[in-house]
């Protein structure tokens, strides 16, 4: 079959801070290639709808696979599927990805016949059987694991047998120089592990994978790194280096292979403290940037989000991260219940610390435990506002005042780390990028005020909404296990009680 994979356009924060390689789509594409299909990819973060129309109309794919990892992209993906069906009436259309897995039935209903199915779970495992069945008999796709179609919900999705089998089809993307993450420009993405053993209330990573946690071998990782031409690499793991031995083994393999890159990773404070030597080692081989999910500046907030970390431990981890001499970014979750005094306290803290501080808004997503406890209070069900940049829950302050205070707090980041301040600090890096023709990072330095302003945020709430998260998804009683996309694996009692 001729298969076209499509990644939707950028979200709000992508306009300033980053533009990431669609790694998940590349992995699914590689699985389809292994089964003998002819595959093309289009990424609407860097391509245009005109490109999409041209490929569909001229190449005439047999199947189009839409990636939907972010809830805010759901309306765009549905409209793209309808457009594809109009341009190529006989094409087989499928939507997959993290967020799509949690709202599969809603996407299918809003597709109004333009979407043949939603593939839940890990696409690499399900795409082969799905395409083979669709080529033979589209009416039989309901029996494929992970498929939700007009026939109903099929068998549960399965996990891939081994992460080592997965090598992304990077060569299918035409504009790789457009991907960047901060001053890592250009930047590729890579996966070392998959899943998360913690159970934070605001996160759906653990419910998607059924609290499973799997590792990729150092040999497979090095093979993947050798295929990456970009000097910067984003390690996409939800929590990097949970297992100390794994982190050391990868570092050793990279040194033996003579690979030199700059790395960006995300981790937890308690993991950083427990495995200090791993991160010291990685600093020596190229760790350049670290993102720490502190989430809250008080113990009450940490308990509310079930972070299973202490405030003192988080601050100790922050001190250690500083000692490594790398760039550190922090995430703080703004609660809709914050008042002006709380915003001011956070703003002052942001001014005092040297790190980049990102402020996201507490948002109950389908697939999270927060959804179970907060969804009935939703002020909006517009998918596009579920991007952790907009409020979807009632705010203590009038919404205009909430956004005004939020933007004032976020402007600390702009003053300290963007514009001329950032350019001064990384002048040599930027100079080298410009000599290579890389301008993604430089262009992003002056975009903050145009993207993050209270008027724009408020205007987004006034947009007409064609698609909304169905009210029927809000239920009175749901067990945590009902949120799992993949069946949970049996774990020792001691491990289930807390972090590993």
Q: For the domain made up of 2-153, give the CATH fold.
A: Rossmann fold (3.40.50)
Place of tokens 């590993």: 500
- Predicted confidence at residue 417, as pLDDT, reads 60
Q: Do 439 and 186 touch, CB atoms closer than 8 A?
A: no
* DSSP class of 67: E
Return the SS3 of 159. coil
Q: For the domain made up of 179-483, give the CATH fold.
A: pyruvate-formate lyase- activating enzyme (3.80.30)
Return the SS3 of 217. coil
H helices, E strands: number in the chain: 22, 17
Please report which residue ranges of 357-398 form alpha helices under DSSP H: 369-374
* Own/partner pairs, 11-17, CB within 8 angstroms, 24+ separation: 11/70, 11/72, 11/73, 11/387, 11/389, 12/387, 12/389, 12/451, 13/387, 13/389, 14/45, 15/444, 15/447, 15/451, 16/418, 16/444, 16/447, 16/448, 16/451, 16/452, 17/181, 17/182, 17/444
- Predicted confidence at residue 64, as pLDDT, reads 98
d(CA 85, CA 90): 7
In which region does residue 419 sit, left (phi positive, over 0), alpha (psi from -120 to 50) or beta (all else)?
Answer: left
Query: Taking the chain (500 residues) in consecutive chunks of 10 residues, what is each chunk's mean pLDDT?
Result: 97 84 98 97 96 96 98 98 96 97 96 97 96 96 96 93 94 94 92 92 89 94 96 96 97 98 95 96 96 82 76 88 90 92 90 85 91 87 95 96 92 67 68 79 75 91 93 65 73 37
For CA atoms 28, 31, 35, 38, give the dihedral sign: positive
Tokens of 397: 């302050």
Domain ranges of the chain: 2-153, 179-483
d(CA 34, CA 23): 17
- Predicted confidence at residue 497, as pLDDT, reads 36
Q: Do 35 and 125 touch, CB atoms closer than 8 A?
A: no
d(CA 498, CA 250): 26
Return the SS3 of 460. helix
Return the SS3 of 6. strand
Query: Prior bond to 132 cis, omega within 30?
Result: no
3-state helix, strand, coil in the chain (%, to 5): 50, 15, 35
- Predicted confidence at residue 499, as pLDDT, reads 37
Of the candidates 93, 51, 43, which has an alpha carbon nearest to the alpha carbon of residue 73? 43
C-alpha angle 116/21/12, rounded to 5°? 80
Q: At what angle do helices 399-417 and 340-352 cross, to 10 degrees?
A: 10
Radius of gyration for the chain, computed over Cα atoms and rounded to the nearest angstrom: 22
- Predicted confidence at residue 429, as pLDDT, reads 73
């Amino acid at each position: 079959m001729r298969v076209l994979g499509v990644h939707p356009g950028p979200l709000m924060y992508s306009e300033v801070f980053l533009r990431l390689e669609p790694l998940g789509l590349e992995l699914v594409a590689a699985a389809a290639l292994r089964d003998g299909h002819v595959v093309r990819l289009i990424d609407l973060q860097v391509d245009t709808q005109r490109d999409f129309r041209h490929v569909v109309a001229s190449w005439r794919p047999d199947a189009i696979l839409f990636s939907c990892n972010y809830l805010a992209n759901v309306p765009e993906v549905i409209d793209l599927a309808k457009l594809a069906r109009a341009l190529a009436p006989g094409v087989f259309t499928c939507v997959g990805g993290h967020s799509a897995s949690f709202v599969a039935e809603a996407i299918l209903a809003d597709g109004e016949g333009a979407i043949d199915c939603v593939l839940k779970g890990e696409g690499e495992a399900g795409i082969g059987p799905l395409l083979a069945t669709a080529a033979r008999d589209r009416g039989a796709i309901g029996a494929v694991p992970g498929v939700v179609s007009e026939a109903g919900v099929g068998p549960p999705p399965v996990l891939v047998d081994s992460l080592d089998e997965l090598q992304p089809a990077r060569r299918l993307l035409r504009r790789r120089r457009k991907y960047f993450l901060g001053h890592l420009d250009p930047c590729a993405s890579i996966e070392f592990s998959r899943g998360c053993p913690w159970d934070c209330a605001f996160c759906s990573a653990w419910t998607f994978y059924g609290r499973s946690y799997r590792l990729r071998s150092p040999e497979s990782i090095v093979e993947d790194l050798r295929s990456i031409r970009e000097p910067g690499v984003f390690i996409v793991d939800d929590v990097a280096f949970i297992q100390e031995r794994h982190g050391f083994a990868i570092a050793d393999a990279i040194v033996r292979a003579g690979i030199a890159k700059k790395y960006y990773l995300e981790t937890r404070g308690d993991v950083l403290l427990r495995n200090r030597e791993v991160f010291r080692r990685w600093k020596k081989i190229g760790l350049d940037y670290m993102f720490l999910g502190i989430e809250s500046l008080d113990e009450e907030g940490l308990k509310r989000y079930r972070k299973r970390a202490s405030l003192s431990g988080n601050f100790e981890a922050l001190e250690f991260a500083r000692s490594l001499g790398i760039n550190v970014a922090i995430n703080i979750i703004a609660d809709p219940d914050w008042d002006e005094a709380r915003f001011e306290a956070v703003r002052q803290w942001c001014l005092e610390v040297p790190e980049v501080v990102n402020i996201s808004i507490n948002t109950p997503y389908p697939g999270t435990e927060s959804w179970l406890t907060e969804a009935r209070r939703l002020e909006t069900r517009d998918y596009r506002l579920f991007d952790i940049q907009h409020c979807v829950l009632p705010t203590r302050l009038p919404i205009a005042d909430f956004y005004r205070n939020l933007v004032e707090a976020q402007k600390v980041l702009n003053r300290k780390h963007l514009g001329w301040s950032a350019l001064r600090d990384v002048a040599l890096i930027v100079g080298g990028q410009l000599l290579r023709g890389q301008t993604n990072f430089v262009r992003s330095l002056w975009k903050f005020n145009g993207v993050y302003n209270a008027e724009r945020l408020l205007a987004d709430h006034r947009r007409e909404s064609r698609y909304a998260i169905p009210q029927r998804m809000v239920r009175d009683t749901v067990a945590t296990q009902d949120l799992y996309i993949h069946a949970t694996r049996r774990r020792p009692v001691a491990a289930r009680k807390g972090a590993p």
